[in-house]
Structure formats: C-alpha cells, structure tokens
Structure 1
C-alpha cells in the first residue's frame, strides 16, 4: 500500500518550482492558475525571492501547496489509482485535499492565502512563540508545556515524531519551557523562527475566520481517504473535512500518530511530494517503510518508472 504525503511550512525556499515550470507544461499551468487565483505573481516570488517575503506565512502557505501540486501534476500520477491514502502536515493537509480532488486548485490557493493572513493577524507580533523540543516524546513535551504555562497558554502544537515535538503559546511561557525542557531531560530546546504561535488556542480568531471561509466553499468527497491532522484517522465526508480543518487551526498536528496509523493499516511506501522534510520523520516513526522524496524532474521520472 502507498500513501502520498504533502509538506508544511518550512519547506519554502527561493527557486522552488522554477525548474519544474521550465520542464513541465502541467507544472507551469499550476503556477499560472495560482497566480491568477491570488491576483499576485506568487510564482515569481517563489522563483526569485526575496526569501523574507516568501517566508511570510501568507505567501509561504500557498507557495508550498502550489509547488506540491505542480510536482503531482508534472508526474501525471492519478492518486485515485496509485494512492491508498493521502495526508499533509498542517497546511499540507490542504495540498492533500486538493490532490485528492476535494478542493479545486484556485479554491485551495485562496483558502491558504486567507489562512496565512488569519494566523498572522490572530496574535500581535512578539506576543507568541514556538519551540522545538528535540529528544522529547509527546508525554515529556506535554509535561514541559504544563510546567511552563503558569496561567499563560503553552501547549503541544506538533507531535512530529518520537524525538521531535513542537510547543506553542505565549512567548513568556514558551521561553520558560526552554529551561524546563533541559531540567526534564530533553536533548535540546530551540525557539523556532516563526511569526506567530500556530496550532494553539491563541489561534482561535484565525479558526473563526476559516470557519466562515470554509462554510462558503464547495468540498467534494476526496478520491482517496485523507488522514486528518487532528484525529490521525482517515476522513472522506465533506462536512467532517470542513469541521476538522477549522479545528486544525488551534489543534495539535498529530503527525506521528497519523504515520503510525497508516503504517498499521498496511502502508509500506510513503511518497513526499514537493519537499524532503517529512521523509526523515516518517522513517523515525516507521523505520521499516520505504520513503521517496520527490522534488526534481529526475525524481518524478524515477517515481513514475517505479509505480
């Protein structure tokens, strides 16, 4: 069995998609459609930078999605025929839903643009923070977050793999967690260079905006079951997809559990489209599976030949 997975924030880089667009008319059409849907030359920003502007969450979210879908379209692979499941990390869940036909491309781009804006505006710059706890599992990370909160928000945002968990919340609480993490035995604790505290209760204003936006768009049943971030379980019902995407804004990304559940369901091959961040996580969660990261045209050709 095979699962196609889609990366989240942090996968952006200046130059992304440029070679794909030059080599593949299908990829180029994706970037052109996204540019038109957003009314901005996002493809030029992706190709040429500057990095600081590309990294802004309102640009990074649709850019990472566009790159992943361009990679998929350049391959010509039909997910309904070749995938048993799809999943994506945070914003990557939208890419997965687009790839599986639940959203059309233009709708996905507009939703992610809004999601990026809403998440950025939910908390004033400087009031929130996120930190990666390395060498910490979920239980230890939760204990660290609880100890650091002291009446403020501090909670687990991403359960990425058995040795990497991300916490999110008020800046003061997250900074306290850095010291507590060392005391409680985490190998390292590092602040992340993000502009807002994603996937925590402080994102509720963004969740409210996404609830309104998602209520106004059509969602089709995906051609392939999608493992949802907040349940680590497959979902196909459009109403449930809508509800879970709203919950995802404030909820924990249960990536470790999602990958483990797909492996337990029989997935032996994970294909990451448009990035190479998720692959190492997958191998730490399920060491016996095969992981293929697909970024270049050579990668695409190799994958098509293989499946």
Structure 2
C-alpha cells in the first residue's frame, strides 16, 4: 500500500515521514511489517490509505506531463481527492482522516456492525433484501429499535455495499441468498460505515471539518453526495459532512476519456469499467 512508491521516490517517502510525525507512529514500518490486524483498524487504515494514495498521485504527476481535469474519490478517497486538488494541505488531510477514523472506531464500538458487498442484484432488489433482513432480525429479537440494514454505497449497477447491525448480519446473508444474489461478501472493515450506526461520529467530524482550512481547488472536485463538480471551498466543506455511481456517470456524460486510480486494490477501476465501458481506466499503484 504505497510502500514500493515510497521506496523508489524520495519525495513520496517524505510524505510518509510527515504523516508519521503527525500520527506519532512509524506509518511506513507498519505498512511494511504489519500486523494486518492493526492496519484493519479504521483509525489506522484511514490516514494510511490517504498517505499512500496522495504519495502515488504526487509521484505519478511529477513523472507525467498530464493535465488533470477533475479529482474525485470514493468515501475516504474524497479526502485524497481534496488534497490532490489543493483544497486541503497534506498535513490537514492526515489530521482529518485520523480524526475521522478515531471517531468512526468509537461509533463502531458503540454500535457493532458489518459491511457486505452484494453482487448480481438491481438497486431495487438490494434495497428489498436490506428491508427483509432488518424485518427478520427485528422479528427474531422481538425488538423494533437497534437493528439496521441498508445500502451504504451505490458503487455500480449490480454492485452495492450494505451496512448492517451485527445482529442482522445473518439475516442479510439469508435474504441475499433467497434473492439469488451472485455473492454476498463481508468486507474487511471494522464497522458499519456510511450508515446511521455511525451517527455518534457525526458531530465530532463536523466540528473537525469546520475548523480545517479549505482552499479554492486548483483542480475541480466531484463530490459523491450530490454527484456535482465544485470549486467553492465553503460549499465543499459543507458537502463533505453529508454516491459513487452517480459521480462516474456524470463524468462520462461530460466527455471523460481517461481516468486514473491511485491506491491499492483496483476496485474503482473495475467499477468504472462497468459504469463507463468506453473510458480508458489506468491503475497507478
């Protein structure tokens, strides 16, 4: 996760060192040696992913004479996009993602939950599966409150991320199977993100964002919450507190011919190839 980039590029390595200084632990060493369980903690994973993606972007941009028309990121990746577009300084982005991760970790401890990728169903079918799972879990526990299951991310047609209370996770898997989903795969995250179960984190994150210095972007930013391109730093700040498929569809309509994904995994490249099959997508890792 950015390790090879830092090894071959001194400037990228400096970003890891700056992040380590802010976080008060050796981020590069943790990425290199683990343990993986530590990296899976969202309070660690979020600033780590941000640092890796920004390092990859800055290293690649120095090596290529390419003009960037727009920056976008999915979920945590929006913070990387804001940094790469000049809205946030790298230090501010590290601080915000570390705060975001810590708040979400606390919310996950208070409201245990999980996330799943459901493949092969339509949006309406996936939403129906979530409703059925929540109803089944409430019925079995005989409780109206405390159970949640809903779509967290509309990634691309036939691929949706679902957040669910831990008590309803088994019901979700059963409902997905009953609906003939191709797959229902648990994601390796430490909570039910992008859901009401994260509500305890909202106030603290809003305060941290409000206090951060947002600059006018050097490159326009496309935000997930409304799938619109923004250049006003105050509007970006407001929107950040509040979906991916709609964002990519907009870029396709605006004539996007080539996209670049910075960071590990290549998931967004696969999603974009389904949303915009005519667009050339390049992975940089």
TM-score w.r.t. the length of structure 2 is 0.90
**Aligned partners of 2:63, 2:228: CA distance in 1, in Å?**
22
1:170, 1:197 within 8 Å by CA — same for their partners in 2? yes
* RMSD after superposition: 1.9
Structure 1 residue 235 corresponds to structure 2 residue 230:
yes
Match of 2:164 in 1: 169
After superposing on structure 2, the runs of 4+ consecutive aligned residues of structure 1 that deviate more than 6 Å are 78-81
- Structure-2 residue corresponding to 1:186: 181
Q: Hey, what does 2:282 align to over in structure 1?
A: 292
Could you tell me which of 203, 210, 228 is aligned with 1:208?
203
1:105-254 map, 5 Å: 105-124=90-109, 127-150=112-135, 151=144, 152-247=147-242, 254=243
Cα separation, partners in 2 of 1:189 and 1:22, compared to 1, 3 Å: closer
Secondary structure at 1:257 match in 2: helix
Q: What's the offset of the Cα at 1:56?
A: 1.2
User: CA 1:108 to 1:198, structure 2 compared with 1: closer, same or farther past 3 Å?
Assistant: same
| Deviations 1:79-130 (CA, angstroms, capped at 9, x unpaired) | 9971111111110000000000100001100111111111111132772121
Partner of 1:99: 84
Aligned residue in 2 for 1:265:
254
Contact 1:79 1:99 in 2 (8 A): no
Structure 2 gaps of 5+ residues are 136-143
Shift of 1:185: 3.0
Shift of 1:194: 2.2
How many residues end up aligned between the 2 structures?
274
Tell me how far 1:233 sits from its aligned partner.
1.6
Gaps of 5+ in 1: 1-15, 248-253, 296-307
Cα deviation, 1:220-275, whole Å, max 9, x if unaligned, reads 1211221112112212222221222211xxxxxx1111111111111010100123
1:11-90 alignment, distance < 5 Å: 16-77=1-62, 82-90=67-75
8 Å contact 1:79–1:223 — kept in the other structure? no
154 and 73 in structure 1: CA distance in 2 versus 1, 3 angstrom threshold: same
CA contact (8 A) 1:58 1:113 kept: yes
> Quick check: 1:80–1:223 contact (8 Å CA) kept in 2?
no
